[in-house]
């Protein structure tokens, strides 16, 4: 079993870490996560989809309202259409299983109708937030479960590039919307991608109160730009802009949202009122 210290070194891309001792299998799975974008053409074992979704349903859920659903795609021609709508990312076609995680307020709309209540609460931004949070927690449980079985995963936020077409492809009813996809399959053993370093712990962990220190943050950014630069050169990925450069570009203009600037409008169209 790997040592905590070695796993943390890889996770932060530096030699100084704050952990020692042996990891347990759960920590090993979590700390060794890496997105997989190369899958071999091998089917999942029967029952895998069901156990993964059960793991997803085991996540905590706000007030036990369970305001999410997941749609599974295994049919190659439908997967091809989904891949096309998701930035034409080929690993979606390769993966034997593509899951679409949805905010689902249609279920509680029906419950309200059955119980003859107005369901006014469903018209507020809070309920969309709740559904998105619950769907994300479930998806992360599915991801960890998949990784614990030796499978690889890659989230697909590009599902939000074409929300209307995605809704049409999957026949989503009112008050159901696809938030992101998740490609799942057997990793190609020839893939040399390794664990990608994250921002230093100090940058994301605020103890007791938030200290807004721009000087410290500038140093943190510099360290992380360096850590990712050596990660990329170790991966033989040349010419990649620094992390700060990529982040700044990613939020620089409306165009950098890849078509996702329409989301407020699409949510209204699909029955999420967001009052």
Which residues form the interface with ligand FMN (CB under 6 A)? 33-35, 37, 89, 154-158, 180, 196
Burial 157-167 (b: 16+ CB within 10 A, else e): ebbbbbbeebb
Task: Quote the CA–CA distance of 39 and 62 in Å, as a whole number.
Answer: 34
Nearer to ligand FMN by Cβ, of 32 and 112: the residue is 32
CB of 24 to ligand FMN, least distance (A): 20
CB of 199 to ligand FMN, least distance (A): 11
CB of 161 to ligand FMN, least distance (A): 9
Q: Residue 159's Cα: distance from chain center in Å?
A: 11
Nearer to ligand FMN by Cβ, of 122 and 180: the residue is 180
Task: Quote the CA–CA distance of 146 and 141 in Å, as a whole number.
Answer: 9
Nearer to ligand FMN by Cβ, of 98 and 180: the residue is 180
Nearer to ligand FMN by Cβ, of 104 and 122: the residue is 104
CB of 91 to ligand FMN, least distance (A): 7
Nearer to ligand FMN by Cβ, of 41 and 157: the residue is 157
Task: Quote the CA–CA distance of 134 and 103 in Å, as a whole number.
Answer: 8
CB of 37 to ligand FMN, least distance (A): 6
Task: Quote the CA–CA distance of 103 and 58 in Å, as a whole number.
Answer: 17
CB of 33 to ligand FMN, least distance (A): 6
Return the residue matching tokens 């967001």: 274
Task: Quote the CA–CA distance of 33 and 152 in Å, as a whole number.
Answer: 9
Query: Closest CB to ligand FMN belongs to which residue?
Result: 157
DSSP 55-88: HHHTS--GGG---EEEEEE--HHHHHHHHHHTTT
CB of 158 to ligand FMN, least distance (A): 4
DSSP 154-182: EEEGGGGGSHHHHHHHTT--TTEEEEEEE
Cβ-based neighbour number of residue 168 at 10 Å: 11
Nearer to ligand FMN by Cβ, of 130 and 156: the residue is 156
Nearer to ligand FMN by Cβ, of 216 and 246: the residue is 246
User: What is the four-CA torsion angle of 122, 66, 145, 151, rounded to 10 degrees?
Assistant: -50
Q: Residue 154's Cα: distance from chain center in Å?
A: 7
């Amino acid at each position: 079993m790997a040592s905590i210290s070695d796993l943390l070194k890889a996770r932060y891309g530096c030699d100084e870490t704050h952990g020692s001792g042996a990891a347990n299998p759960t920590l090993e799975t979590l700390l060794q996560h890496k997105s997989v974008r190369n899958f071999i053409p091998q089917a999942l074992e029967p029952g895998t989809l069901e156990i993964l979704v059960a793991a997803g349903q085991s996540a905590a859920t706000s007030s036990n309202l369970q305001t999410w659903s997941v749609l599974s795609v295994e049919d190659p021609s439908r997967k091809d259409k989904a891949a096309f709508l998701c930035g034409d990312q080929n690993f979606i076609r390769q993966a034997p299983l593509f899951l679409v995680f949805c905010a689902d307020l249609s279920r509680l709309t029906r419950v309200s109708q059955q119980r003859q209540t107005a369901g006014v609460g469903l018209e507020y931004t809070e309920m969309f937030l709740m559904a998105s949070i619950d769907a994300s927690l479930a998806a992360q449980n599915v991801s960890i479960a998949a990784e614990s079985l030796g499978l690889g995963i890659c989230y697909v936020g590009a599902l939000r590039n074409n929300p209307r077409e995605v809704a049409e492809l999957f026949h989503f009813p009112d008050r159901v919307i696809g938030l992101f996809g998740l490609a799942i399959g057997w990793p190609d053993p020839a893939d040399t991608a390794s664990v990608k370093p994250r921002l230093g712990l100090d940058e994301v962990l605020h103890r007791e109160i938030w200290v807004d220190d721009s000087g410290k943050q500038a140093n943190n950014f510099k360290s992380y730009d360096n850590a990712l630069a050596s990660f990329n050169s170790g991966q033989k990925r040349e010419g990649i802009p620094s992390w700060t450069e990529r982040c700044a570009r990613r939020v620089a203009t409306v165009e950098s949202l890849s078509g996702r600037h329409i989301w407020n409008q699409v949510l209204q169209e699909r029955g999420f009122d967001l009052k």
